[in-house]
Structure 1
Amino acid sequence: MSIQWKGVMPAVTTKFTDSDSLDLQMFEHNITAQLEAGVHGIVLGGTLGEASTLSHDEKRILTRATVSHVDNKVPVLINIAEQSTKSAIQAAQHAEADGASALMMLPPMRYKSGDRETVTYFKTVANNTSLPIMVYNNPVDYNIEVTLDMFEELLKCDTIEAVKESTRDVSNVTRIKNRFGDRLKIMTGVDTVALESLLMGAEGWIAGLVCAFPAETVAIYELQKAGRIQEAIEIYRWFLPLLELDINPKLVQNIKLAEVATGLGTETVREPRLPLHGEERKHVLNVIENGLKTRPTLPDYKNL
């Protein structure tokens, strides 16, 4: 199905069994909760989805299972995070064959490509698939920044349509709007600056804590879109301690623990990741417990 770059799109976690295989039953349970909350798309195989540990076959299984489960209710995106251009093209073509609606795409992995190499990488993949592409711009975690000048060149490819803006600099939303208008759609990618970015003009939110709290996340988006800013702020202020679990090297473990608390997942991760323990686990559980104790009553955000 076609994609509109707007709304809340969960970067979903990948569920595993105790024997380290894909847990599609729990995965689909979470996807169902996302759909019931009113999300606008599903993003597979991102950082939060433990992309670096998934085989190509597992990514294809997840894509097909999700496309089947959502049944054209929302678009399904798969992340492209590869070490070579050849592998990225192959992954993009597999995604298209498996029914994905669009791609989220990181710069080359491991090798710190220069500006010209990064632009060539994105353009080459774009020229070998018909799927729309959202460039994942996260220099904080991946050490490569896609600058506005680089986007000037990238936007010569019609299929490069959006950016997952994860620089942590909210003013970058305004820079992008000033430079490109509506040609480059902006999906904010950092939970702790999401509302600020939406208010400055981002069209949507690739979210993390939505995996455990889908209704609250969608409510914030819909309220601010309807101009009910103060209500959105109040929920966002409650949410912030939980959202901060997303800007941490252990974000996968943190969010999976939150999913357990809300009945939407397990904390099983794929090694070398290990479940949280000791004081670190105690702290995260305390944040989650406090959030659940003070969980807000939501307005009828689906009918604003």
Structure 2
Amino acid sequence: MTAPAPPQSTMTWLPAKSWQHFVAGGLGGMCGAIVTSPFDVVKTRLQSSMFAHSVDVSVSGSGAVVAKRTGGLLYNFVETAHIIRNIYVQESPLALFRGLGPTLVGVIPARSINFFTYGNGKQIIAQRFNDGRESTLVHLGAAAIAGVTTATCTNPIWVVKTRMQLSASRGQSEQYRNALDCVLRIMRHEGIRGMYKGLSASYLGVAEGTIQWVLYERLKGLNTRVEGRGPVAEWAGMLGSAGTAKCVASLITYPHEVIRTRLRQPVSPGGIVKYSGLLQTLRLVIAEEGAKALYGGLSAHLMRVVPNAAVMYSIYEGVLRWNKD
């Protein structure tokens, strides 16, 4: 007589096809990063104090150096276009994609980890703590866990990316040859702690991802409740939800981006560390440059992250829906 089979659990630790979120998130992040790389370079330079001198002047069409005009938010977008043009002319077209290698090395696992942790986390939290129902609190908890996990795992990659994007300001002899050369120099001069610079600001930035995910879920839910819409209108609504969520989250939490970039700057030739901590950096930036400096590079950032989010989420949702069919 054979023994009866043991009863099967009604719920596994990970939902079925949990790998979909990992693959879809990585693919979406990769496409978005490639498309918006020039804006990422401009944003990093505008956030850094190392390039402050380069935005105080601009090059006119005749090649003369003229004082930079001041203006409102609209001119910030014009300024971004001017900087992209100057990088293209004065450095090279490839300079607009400087740091793209480390970015892709970081974005693909970062988005894979983030979407995997969030997509599966919200299902697990809902099943174990909310009778299988999703809610704003479920989305909030899953997004926070996903943000902390992603920041911890990928911080060294973002340090390398930032250093490479800022390397042009240090002179030709000081430029990093490649990402590996950058890693070796950081480890040689700053140790393992150098690879985790800006991690405190990254943890602060978890709020941005949390706001983005919660708002995206709410907007997507409102969009799907509208009946009688064709597939084109449905996808347009989804793209609008992703872009709006990212825009709002970025506007609310943007200063942490500037602080994080300052913390990841290369050490000065004299070995003096100017930015040593989260609060110290915040106070120093405000004291030396004013509170407005906490929004340096905002226009380039929005021009990058809003379309980036639209591309990334559309691919993510598309892969998940395609796999369901």
TM range (shorter): under 0.3
TM-score by length of 1: 0.25
Q: By percentage of residues, which structure has more helix?
A: 2
TM-score by length of 2: 0.24
Q: By percentage of residues, which structure has more strand?
A: 1
